[in-house]
Amino acid sequence: LTFQGYQQSSVDGSDPWCDQEYDVSEKVTPGVLVIYTGGTIGSRPRDPDPDSPQIVVPWEEFLSHTPEVGRLPFEVDASEEIPPLDSCNVGPSEWSKMAEIIFANYDEYAGFVILHGTDTMVYTASALSFMLRDLAKPVIITGAQRSAMVSTRNDATQNFLTALEIANPAVSRLPVVPEVCIFFGGKLLRGNRAIKIDTSGYEAYETPNIPPLGLAGDRIVINEKIVRPLPDRGRKFSIRTRLDTGVMPIYVSPGIQDTSIAEAQLDTAGLRAAVVLSFGSGNIPTKPEFLEVFRAAREGGVILANVSQCPRGPVEQGIYETSAQLVEAGFVSGNDITIEAAQCKLMVLLGDPDADVEDAELAFQQNLAGEQSTSMFVTKYGKSNGTLDDESPRLRIRGVGVEGRWSPNHVERALVRLHGATITAPPVSDSAREREALKVKKDAPAAPASLETVAFRVFLNLDDSVAQPDLNDPGYAGEFRKWPAASTGLSVFDISSAFRSTVSAGERVSFTIILDTPGATLAWDDADIAVFAKEFDV
Ligand code: ASP
């Protein structure tokens, strides 16, 4: 990690403040409100024996071991409304309390610091990022691996003082970071992107899918390019404090498909969503009986969120056969969200009494608070089943307004997806049959049932009166060759470049599929367009 690219050390280009500049007997307001919740940063051994179990202490005792706070030029107040806890015991009711404290004191302070145990810090950060809406002030969560009450050589004091400075950007001459962040071990991290990677090291957190928002060495430097923008003018800060705790992770590991573990978990009373921790880019075993357990759960109203066990990189459903089947079973993808953020996001989305399962699923696939790099917007076409054959090789699916907030240059991919699709090929030609026979002789892997591929062309917004559309049509999205499928499933047509050049968010778009292989057929149950839009350019 270097400080290169993190040039904006202060908003006006001057050196950040240093103690000597300030008369600390006159404290500047607004200051920072500290929400003290305990954790190692607020713990010491219970008995004089240094090896006795650690206990959390009240704020006053903690503060008496951090006298440096008194040398800061601004007011630092504390809320002790949440009793000091080991963070293993912090959960939705404490998160709601934190949100309420911030809401009640929002106008009085420049920013907020939450002192917290390290164990569940990323859950608290993730939950708050979805609970605090239109946040325009910094909320910085920090803690320590070693407290100042235990040892002079500690990380508590540095973490706390730096968090306080970042939380008061006007005094510290830093850019405003209007986000829920974790500051720890010299790094300012987006809270809902962070994972705890070390049980004892001072650099305990990382954000594997985005760079740090800032670094603190001899100076504090903020990478403004990736900090979330301030809320739009006129939007007022608000909070959501209702969470639904019926969300459970299901850890997929080799062999689980031969057990009833997943079925038992999905059968849990009150379960509303499962965060299915998949392999790699979003794959799980495809044994039909195993997939059926999930399909049945989805039919029963349980949201299935596909989130990778792998900390870096996104889930991309539909790239491999193993995950294409998941789309059909009703899984929604979490892109590159962390496991912890997925859990909290679903709790908050399902806590909304007005949101039904479908609303929560659509929102889950979109970036709400910087928690994922790409949003997926699905536009469903009602009554969009169809069949193509020699009789009618061309079908136009009528235009509807495409969902989402995105600009065309942020569209990574756009797909026409046909669900429950079956492709059949014309009878196998003699030469193909001969080639197949040769392969069989050589003990080669079995060739597909037919060696003929089936060709299609797709057009966007094609005028029905154009009898012979060709690649010069502005809506030409490409030619596609597909193998006839042995079974029904998802069939995907990548229409990205035509989509980018012809469609804007909210506009109506129709698509036309033309079957170009005589004797072949394509039939499907329903269709949608999935748009993948990047949140920012890093
Ligand atoms: N068990 C402690 C907690 O999370 C660990 C820590 O703070 O480092 O509260």
The per-residue pLDDT for range 295-350, each reduced to its tens digit, is: 999 999 999 999 999 999 999 887 666 777 899 899 999 999 999 999 999 999 99
In a mutational test of the pocket of ligand 1, which residue from 43, 121, 196 has the highest number of ligand atoms less than 8 Å from its CB?
43
Specify the ligand 1 atom closest to the Cα of 86. Answer: 9
User: How many angstroms does the Cα of residue 88 sit away from the middle of ligand 1?
Assistant: 7
For the chain, the average pLDDT equals 91
Q: Which of 254, 249, 304 is nearest to 279 (CA)?
A: 254
Q: Quote the pLDDT of residue 257.
A: 97
Q: What is the pLDDT of residue 470?
A: 92
Q: Which atom of ligand 1 is nearest to the CA of 56?
A: 9
* pLDDT value of position 234: 92
Confidence of residue 535 (pLDDT cuts 50, 70, 90): confident
Q: Are 344 and 303 in contact (CB under 8 A)?
A: no
118 pocket-lining for ligand 1 (C-beta < 6 Å)? yes
Out of 86, 150, 198, mutate this one to test ligand 1's pocket (max ligand atoms within 8 Å of CB): namely 86
Centre of ligand 1 to C-alpha 511, Å, is: 55
Question: What number does the ligand 1 atom closest to the CA of 43 have?
Answer: 7
Q: Confidence class of residue 433 from pLDDT cuts 50, 70 and 90?
A: low
Nearest ligand 1 atom to the CA of 121 is 4
What is the identity of the amino acid at 153? R
d(CA 121, ligand 1 centre) in Å: 9
Q: Which two tokens stand for residue 349?
A: 């989305």
* Confidence bin at 426 (pLDDT 50/70/90): confident
Q: Give the integer Cα–Cα distance in Å for 195 and 184.
A: 12
- Which region holds residue 340: left if phi is over 0, alpha if psi is between -120 and 50, else beta? alpha
| Helix, strand, coil % over all residues of the chain, rounded to 5 | 25, 30, 45
Residue nearest to atom 3 of ligand 1 (CA): 117
Contacts for 496-501: CB closer than 8 Å, 24+ residues apart: 496/411, 496/412, 496/413, 496/414, 496/415, 498/459, 498/460, 498/474, 499/411, 499/414, 499/460, 499/529, 499/531, 500/408, 500/409, 500/411, 500/414, 501/408, 501/474
Average pLDDT over residues 440-452: 54
Tell me which residue has tokens 């502005």.
474
pLDDT band with cut points at 50, 70 and 90 for residue 521? very high
Known catalytic residues? 40
How far does residue 176's CA lie from ligand 1's centre (Å)?
A: 28
Region 183-201 average pLDDT: 98
Altogether, the residues listed in the chain come to a count of 538
Find out whether the beta carbon of 117 lies less than 6 Å from any atom of ligand 1. Answer: yes
Check whether 88 has a pLDDT greater than 60: yes
Q: Is the pLDDT of residue 431 over 50?
A: yes
Alpha carbon of 100 to ligand 1 centroid (Å): 23
- pLDDT above 50 for 385: yes
Q: What is the pLDDT of residue 8?
A: 45
* pLDDT tens by residue, 466-514: 999 999 999 999 999 998 876 788 899 999 999 999 998 889 999 999 9
**What's the confidence (pLDDT) of residue 429?**
63
